Amino acid sequence: MTISARVIANFKKTVAVQVDGEAAIEQAYPLRSVPLMVAGDRIECFRDDGRLRVQTLIPRQTVLERADRHWVKPLAANLTHLGIVSASPPGIDTLLIDQFCLAAHQADVNALIIFNKADRMTSEERDEAEKLIATYRQVGYKAVLIDAKTDKGIQPLLDELDGCTFTLVGASGVGKSSIIQRLLPDRDLVVGAVSEATGLGSHTTSVTFWYDLPGSGAIIDSPGVRQYSVSHFAKQTLRQGFHELARAAESCRFGDCSHTVEPACGVQEGLRNGEIASWRYDNYRKLADI
Ligand SMILES: Nc1nc2c(ncn2[C@@H]2O[C@H](COP(=O)(O)OP(=O)(O)OP(=O)(O)O)[C@@H](O)[C@H]2O)c(=O)[nH]1
Ligand SMILES: [Mg+2]
Ligand SMILES: [Zn+2]
């Protein structure tokens, strides 16, 4: 009989899995033919002498990958959103946010833009953050202003999370760990339970983990994903990944319009009529190096 399950964490030789409809997390042993699995993967297993064996990796809806010059490695599977966190300190950097938006586009997931540390913003900083939020929402992204210090402060994020499977990325010090701690106060208990169930001991904190959220939705928490790098994108990714520019570009006269000097450019028109924020356009040009 085939048993459907989800991968909660990968420990190289074995995986921690949760069989559909069951609360317990157990250890499973992949057949040699099964490719590398990551947190979020859907799998099919069977029981063999009491042992759970993984026989099939179900094709992924989405996959967040890390690329090197020599290899591409899956980090997390079946995400619906990339949670992009920024805060001051260390400072809100829209260029970095927009790079992560491109990464989301590349991975075929939605961006969820999170401005954290609202509790320590001056009223000018708050106005600025709210302007950015309005722009990102207009582009089509979810965007929220939160603080991870209180349950009330995190509520706007909770309100957006229904049914989302997401992971958090962002610069060091923006509050990713604090947000996860606030969303999952029992996280250490889960990690402990998995270590116990799998007998895999203490290295679990450096492993990528799937956590169900109260209600619907889930977080994939990974030290590796948090340092996800976003340096080089194909030109096409840039052109399509700035969604409002791509929409406006449909009315450019020239198919290969660079949106800089050409006549009858939809993007230039969008800038003039306020449909495109000038800082998004500037970020596009910086990233496209034009
Ligand atoms: N005032 C305030 N401080 C916060 C908030 N969120 C996080 N902090 C503080 O900011 C600092 C950094 O938070 P972390 O959660 O460790 O940040 P991180 O993004 O996980 O950082 P790295 O693990 O280095 O990538 C800590 O001192 C937190 O207590 C917030 O909403 N408000
Ligand atoms: Mg952290
Ligand atoms: Zn154009």
Assess whether pLDDT exceeds 90 at residue 23.
no
Identify the structural domains of the chain with CATH numbers, from first to last: 3-57 (2.40.50.140), 63-226 (3.40.50.300), 235-288 (1.10.40.50)
Q: Which ligand is nearest to the CA of 270?
A: 3
Q: How far is CA 18 from CA 22, 41, 197, in A?
A: 7, 11, 11
State whether the beta carbon of 149 lies less than 6 angstroms from ligand 1.
yes
Among candidate residues 142, 64, 137, 132, the one with its CA nearest the CA of residue 95? 132
Residue 84: pLDDT band (50, 70, 90) is very high
Query: Is the pLDDT reported for residue 229 higher than 70?
Result: no
Measuring CA to CA, how many Å separate 278 from each of 142, 252, 255? 20, 18, 22
Q: Of 236 and 149, which is predicted with more confidence?
A: 149
* Ligand 1 contacts CB of residue 187 (under 6 A): no
**Pairing between strand 165-169 and 218-221?**
parallel
User: Which of 74, 75, 77, 71 has the alpha carbon at shortest distance from 6?
Assistant: 77
Q: What is the mean pLDDT of residues 180-194?
A: 79
User: Bigger pLDDT: 239 or 70?
Assistant: 239
Higher pLDDT, 74 or 40: 40
Mean pLDDT of 132-138: 98
The reply to whether ligand 1 has any atom less than 6 angstroms from the CB of 172 is yes
* Percent of the chain topping pLDDT 90: 67
pLDDT of residue 228: 59
pLDDT computed for residue 199 by the predictor: 67
Q: Which atom of ligand 1 is nearest to the CA of 85?
A: 19
For the segment 233-246, what is each residue's pLDDT rounded down to a tens digit? 788 888 999 999 99
Ligand nearest, relative to CA of residue 258: 3
Look at ligand 1, atom 22, and give the residue with the nearest C-alpha: 172
Ligand 1 pocket check for 175: Cβ under 6 Å: yes
Q: Which atom of ligand 1 is nearest to the CA of 180?
A: 15
Ligand 1 within 6 A of 88 CB?
no
Going by alpha carbons, the residue nearest to atom 23 of ligand 1 is: 172
Residue 74's pLDDT is 87
Distance from the alpha carbon of residue 95 to the mean position of ligand 2, in angstroms: 21
Distance from Cα 278 to the centre of ligand 1, integer Å? 30
Tell me the pLDDT of the chain averaged across its residues: 90
Task: Report residue 142's pLDDT band, with 50, 70 and 90 as the boundaries.
Answer: very high
239 lines ligand 1 (CB under 6 A): no
Tokens of 73: 């490695």
Q: Please give the distance, rounded to the nearest whole angstrom, from the Cα atom of residue 81 to the centre of ligand 3.
A: 29
Q: Using CA atoms, how far apart are residues 243 and 249, in angstroms rounded to an integer? A: 10
| Ligand 1 contact via 178 beta carbon (within 6 Å) | yes
Mean pLDDT within 170-191: 85
Per residue in 114-124, pLDDT tens? Answer: 999 999 999 99
Quickly tell me which residue has 């116990």 as its tokens.
196
